[in-house]
Each structure stands twice: as C-alpha cells, then as structure tokens.
Amino acid sequence: SILLNYIKKNNLNIGLLGGSFDPAHKGHLKISKIAKKKFKLKYVIWAITLRNPFKKSASLNIESRIKNLKKIIKNNKFIKMEYLEKKTNSKKSIDIVKFLLKRNKSLKIYFIMGADNLIQLNKWKKWKELVKLVKVIVFDREGYKSRALRSKAAKQMNKKQWIFVNFKKINISSSKIRKI
C-alpha cells in the first residue's frame, strides 16, 4: 500500500487501532481524532481483523465491515484502513507491530485501545513484549475505568509504557449497534 511505502521512508508518530470494527462507529473516530491531536500523530491506522480472538465470530463479513469503515473515515485523511493480517500472516497485535517496525525502526507507534481491552491485555500473545515496542494509549470506556486501572496489565506495565485518557465518552459500542 502507499501508506506502508510512506512509513518506510519517513520518521513518524503513528497510531494503531486494531479491531474487528463490527461495525466501525463514531466512537472509533472520536478516539482517533483525540489521539492524533494529543500525541501529534501523522496517521492513525485502523487495522481491521477478520475476527476478535476473544469472540466467537463477527456478525458482518469482512467485505461489509471494510465498506462501512471506509465510509466512516472518508473525510478524515489521517486515518488509513489496513488489512494487515494478510501481509503478516497473523492476527496478533505483536506481529502487526513488528511488521510495521521492520519497515522503519524509527517509527513511534501509539497503540490505541479502549479500557475494556486493557482488562484482558494480559491474555494477549506476547503482551509484555508488545508494550515495550509501543506506547499504549488507553481510552476510558463507560463502566470499565476502575476494572481497567486495577487490571493485571495495568499493574505490571511500566508507567512510561502507557497512558490512560479520560474524555467525554460517547455511549456507543459495536455490540450495542449490532443489537439494534
């Protein structure tokens, strides 16, 4: 992709927001905009995955999710959709981060996640290695803050490795949208 070639040649701060985006929504967009501004990011990559490894399956097929995702980001040129699973032959975050860093060792990656993901981060493959390669940006989510801040990963991570971002939350989630 054009973005991956661009990354190879430039020193950049980029955000990485991974997920099944089932479906993508304005909450994803809002945290991407906040991260861009707060951490001076050139791009935020939305790395879509075939399915969340902690869920049975996605409700929409990958083609529908990509189409929906492109519609949501079309007016936000700093957000780039990438389906990196095919290029990395893996759906694991650690492999995607290593793939990007292999292209450019001086890349600074801000790994964006919701507080709900911080709660289970310690179950991710090679999570301790992952948090050493990136700066983890955790966005508060309705009803998750205290559990996230008390989580195993939160307690074990070095304070320089991550930051918790409080913000005016949008009470929306992909699972709520799927129930509509």
> Which stretches of 50-173 are assigned E, i.e. beta strand?
79-82, 108-114, 135-139, 162-165
Q: Is 14 within 8 Å of 107 (Cβ atoms)?
A: yes
pTM value is: 0.89
Determine which helix (DSSP H) or strand (DSSP E) holds 176, and give its type and residue range: helix 174-179
Q: What are phi and psi for residue 153, nearest 5 degrees?
A: -65, -45
Count of C-beta atoms within a 10 Å radius of residue 74: 9
Residuewise pLDDT in 10s, the chain (180 residues): 778 888 887 778 999 999 999 888 888 999 999 999 999 999 999 999 887 666 666 678 889 999 999 999 999 999 999 999 888 999 899 999 999 999 998 999 999 999 999 999 999 999 999 999 999 999 998 889 999 999 999 999 999 999 999 977 555 555 554 454
